[in-house]
Structure 1
Amino acid sequence: MSLQLLGAWVAGIAGAVFIVLLWRSASVQPKGVLYLTEGEGTLSGRWRLAYGELGEELTVRCDYLGPWLIGLWVGPERLWLWPDSLPRESHRQLRRLCHRAGR
């Protein structure tokens, strides 16, 4: 009986830790509009902040350009974009910016 109680207690703690980690990872995901600019072969981006002003300029690097999914590094943050993450024309423009000839 005490082993079952101990097992239930450990499972409860593990479940609580999992829920906290899941909530934390979801809450730190960037939200909002990212404005990209292209200059001399590099991409840079700025997030629109809560009051409409633009944040600091960050380096943007595309390291995965699949048929549907786009993987970006925006400064130190990892960002995955699905086609439903942004309007269709914006998705096409981003794919054109990230595509490198001969790749």
Structure 2
Amino acid sequence: MKEPRSRASARIGQLVRDLRHQSTISRKKLADRADMDVSHLARIEAGQGNPTIHTILQLATALDVEPEVFVRGLTADDLPEGVRPYSEAEILRELRRRDGGTSRSA
């Protein structure tokens, strides 16, 4: 089995699988309820997929949970390796560092 795409993908996939098992429905039935292909659902459950907000809304509706259940507790540290978003404060610090501290604003 391949490694998960990221910790976020692995966590979401595990949660989908756990919720599906708690609901005692098959992967095919959940895919039908969520209006998605069963192979797409299988990739998500394996942590290989990269579910969009639309996919998260589809799964949340089909599993009768709030969408935030899937992202609660996730942080930038859970993103794929090499993806590094920056906060406003981090950008300003980096700009000051590059500018030798002479810049007042960005």
State the TM-score, normalizing by the size of structure 1.
0.23
- Say which structure is richer in helix: 2
**Bigger radius of gyration, 1 or 2?**
1
State the TM-score, normalizing by the size of structure 2.
0.22
- Say which structure is richer in strand: 1
Answer 1 or 2: higher relative contact order, Cα 8 Å, separation at least 6: 2
